[in-house]
Structure formats: C-alpha cells, structure tokens
C-alpha cells in the first residue's frame, strides 16, 4: 500500500508539543507508518480534475493538516496514522481505483479511513470498495446540491454529475442512499423523484435546522460518509468557488462529525471541495480540522449497541397502528437512550433500523415513521 502514497512534505511539519495531535500522529515523512495498532488513517487526495466548477481543491490537503496537527490531543490512546498523499493516476478514474484499493485494505485491517482534499466526485472511489467486495452499503452524502444532471449526456464524470454515474454503476450495491442538507433551489426535481422512487432518504436544510439530532440515526446506520464543504454557509466556510449564503453552520458540521464518530458501522469518510484560493486566513481549513477533532471525540465513545447482541440492556416497546394494521417493535438502549425499530422483510426475517425517539412518538400518534416506511418498501 505504501507504493500508492507520496510522503508528507517536511516543510509543513513543526515542533509539536505533547499536547498537540501533531506530536501523536504517526506520519509518513520518510518511513511509512506501522498500521498494526492504528484505529484511524488519514490521507490526502490531491485530485480535482472532476471539480471543473471549483478547480484548486487538490491543494487543500496540507492546509488542513497544518491546522489539525495544532489542535489539542484529548485522546492519545486513539492511534492515528497520516499515510501521506495518494498518488494521482494518469486519469481521475485511475485515482478512484487507487483510492478504492487503499480503502479496501484499511477496511480489512479494521481501520477507519479519512480522505481529505480534492473534488466531490472522489466519492466514487469510496463506493468502489462495495463493488469489489460485492456487498451492500449505506452511503450518506452531505451536500447543498444533489449532484445529478438532467441532460442525458454525462460521459465526463465530474463533481456536478457524479451521482448519475453512482446510481448507474453502483445502485445494486446501495442498500440505502441518504442525502443531507440539500437546498431545493439547487436541485432538479428529477433527482428528488429518483431518491423517492428508490425509497432512499433526503433531508432538506430546513429540516436539519430544526431536527439536527434526527441525523444521528442516519449516520449510525451509514458505512460511508461523503461531505462537500459547500454545505456550510458562506459566513462559516469560504473556501469554495460556489458558495451560498445559506447552509449548515460550522457548529452543526462538527456535531454531524461527532455523530459519525459514534457510529460503530462507519468505516470511510471523505471531505471534499475545500479550495485554499478562497480561504480567508485558513479559517475553513481550521473548521475541517475541528470537524476531524469532533469525529475522534465521538470515536472514543463508540459502542457496539444492538438489541440482538445484548437484550438485557434494552427495553422493548410495541406500538399498534390500527389504521395500517401494523405492529411496530421499538428497542431503546437503557444507558445511551438510542432507538431502533424492527422492519419485517420479504424473507420473513426482521432487520433493525436505527431511529429516534421522535420516530417512536410518530408511531404512537398512529403514523408510520418515514424511516420504517422507506425500509419496509426497500425490503419487501
């Protein structure tokens, strides 16, 4: 795997004190890190040929590194490696392949990967792992846009249309696609129609403003997370050519990453479209570094929590919905207070879907929660 990486440039490294992450991270300076005891692996992807509307994001990697290394290390027991920068291919498609190879190897080592820098189409490199392993995944994308174009000709893969290619080539590997923080005026109706038709999930920015905690179950059920920095409002993150005055706040982005850290299922994160050309005083790079800090903070508190594994720590709630002739079974963890709901499938076996107390309240009001309904329609 080390042949796929270039070492980190020595000129960005400082003398870090023992209280900073830069002191504790095993960095690829001249010797590739030993991955034997590592739990998280960070690496840069300086590839932006697909980001034709925001060229320059390939240069963000070192800016983010410098800010992250300077943050205080609260959890030195979490061993982290910085693998360096992934070597880009002759084509961006070759870069996707290289990224996929790295992610697959890290996954086998049970190491969570964090890719930083580059354009949003690199999400395809994350998803390609599922194709090579021929398995089903839950993918969550956080983006103000749904990168889908209505035009039939989409031969050139770019950040603006990568979802067309993802749904065309990897749909059979998607158990669930969830889209967070889209803004309707940036989205073609066909994209939302496709998401609804396939019983996937999409959450508008307005919903998030009022119900941010409802996204914890979404990330708890996710395998992959792809985050476009343009999702954050311009006032909080300016490092992108195509920003909007509206969006989630930097604080909300940090909370989402803490939710992601708590998810014992999630194994791959990508943070894309940070363009240093537009970054005032490196503030966006610092915000991304803080998002990573919150991910690690959540990671420290990861627990394997499933009713099927540990019934004694769960309470069972049965809700009858007479109007739909359905009986919904909810499970609540006694200590963490997280919720799951059972969903029957065509094979007569039930699966557990992460949900929230609000979903339980909706069921108590004689309505089927959207999470349950979407899952029921996907599996039946």
The mean pLDDT value for 240-249 works out to: 94
pLDDT band at 304 (very low <50, low <70, confident <90, very high): confident
Predicted confidence (pLDDT) at residue 307 exceeds the cutoff of 90 = no
Query: How far is the C-alpha of 139 from the C-alpha of 151, rounded, in Å?
Result: 24
Query: How far is the C-alpha of 97 from the C-alpha of 133, rounded, in Å?
Result: 14
The mean pLDDT value for 154-170 works out to: 90
Predicted confidence (pLDDT) at residue 36 exceeds the cutoff of 90 = yes
pLDDT score of 325: 81
Residues facing residue 327 across a β-bridge: 320
Phi-psi region of 117 (alpha: psi -120 to 50; beta: other; left: phi over 0): left
CA neighbours closer than 13 Å in the CB half-sphere of residue 344: 6
pLDDT score of 266: 97
Predicted confidence (pLDDT) at residue 154 exceeds the cutoff of 80 = no
pLDDT score of 150: 81
pLDDT band at 203 (very low <50, low <70, confident <90, very high): very high
Q: Which two tokens stand for residue 201?
A: 């999930």
Residue 113 phi/psi, 5-degree rounding, is -105, 145
Beta-carbon contacts of 295 under 8 Å, excluding residues fewer than 6 positions away, are 114, 257, 258, 260, 261, 269
The mean pLDDT value for 348-360 works out to: 92
Predicted confidence (pLDDT) at residue 96 exceeds the cutoff of 70 = yes
Percent of the chain exceeding pLDDT 70 equals 99
Percent of the chain exceeding pLDDT 90 equals 87
Predicted confidence (pLDDT) at residue 323 exceeds the cutoff of 80 = no
More confident: 304 or 377: 377
Q: Which two tokens stand for residue 188?
A: 């073609």
pLDDT band at 133 (very low <50, low <70, confident <90, very high): confident
The mean pLDDT value for 70-83 works out to: 97
Q: How much is the mean pLDDT over the chain?
A: 94
pLDDT tens-digit series, residues 99-112: 999 999 999 999 99
User: Out of 30-34, 122-126, 346-350, 374-378, which region has the weakest mean confidence (pLDDT)?
Assistant: 346-350
pLDDT score of 152: 60
Any idea where the domains of the chain sit in the sequence?
2-300, 311-379
Q: Domain 2-300 adopts which CATH fold?
A: 3.40.800
**Helix, strand, coil abundance in the chain, percent, nearest 5:** 40, 20, 35
Reported pTM: 0.96
pLDDT score of 308: 75
pLDDT band at 347 (very low <50, low <70, confident <90, very high): confident
pLDDT score of 348: 72
């Amino acid at each position: 795997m080390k042949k796929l990486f270039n070492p980190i440039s020595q000129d960005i490294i400082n003398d870090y004190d023992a209280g900073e992450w830069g002191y504790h991270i095993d960095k690829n300076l001249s010797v590739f890190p030993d991955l034997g005891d590592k739990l998280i692996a960070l690496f840069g992807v300086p590839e932006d040929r697909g980001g034709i509307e925001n060229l320059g994001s390939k240069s963000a990697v070192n800016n983010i590194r410098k800010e992250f290394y300077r943050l205080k290390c609260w959890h030195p027991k979490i061993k982290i490696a910085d693998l360096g920068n992934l070597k880009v291919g002759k084509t961006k498609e070759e870069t996707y392949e290289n990224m996929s190879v790295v992610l697959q190897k890290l996954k086998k080592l049970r190491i969570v990967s964090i890719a930083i820098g580059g354009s949003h189409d690199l999400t395809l490199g994350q998803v390609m792992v599922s194709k090579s392993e021929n398995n089903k995944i839950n993918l969550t994308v956080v983006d103000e846009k749904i990168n889908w174009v209505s035009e039939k000709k989409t031969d050139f893969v770019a950040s603006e249309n990568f979802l067309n290619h993802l749904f065309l080539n990897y749909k059979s590997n998607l158990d669930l696609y969830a889209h967070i923080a889209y803004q309707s005026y940036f989205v073609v109706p066909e994209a939302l129609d496709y998401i609804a038709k396939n019983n996937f999930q999409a959450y508008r920015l307005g919903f998030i403003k009022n119900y941010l905690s409802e996204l914890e179950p979404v990330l708890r059920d996710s395998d992959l997370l792809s985050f476009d920095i343009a999702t954050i409002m311009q006032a909080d993150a300016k490092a992108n050519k195509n920003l909007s005055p509206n969006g989630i706040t930097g604080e909300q982005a940090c909370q989402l990453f803490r939710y992601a850290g708590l998810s014992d299922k999630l194994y791959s994160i990508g943070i894309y479209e940070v363009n240093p050309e537009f970054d005032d005083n490196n503030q966006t790079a610092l915000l991304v570094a803080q998002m990573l800090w919150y991910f690690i903070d959540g990671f420290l508190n990861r627990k394997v929590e499933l009713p099927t594994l540990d019934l004694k720590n769960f309470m069972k709630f049965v809700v009858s919905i007479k109007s739909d002739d359905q009986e919904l079974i909810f499970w609540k963890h006694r200590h963490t207070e997280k919720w799951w709901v059972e969903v029957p499938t065509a094979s007569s076996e039930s699966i557990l879907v992460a949900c929230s107390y609000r979903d339980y309240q909706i069921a108590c009001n004689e309505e089927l929660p959207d999470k349950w309904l979407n899952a029921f329609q996907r599996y039946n």
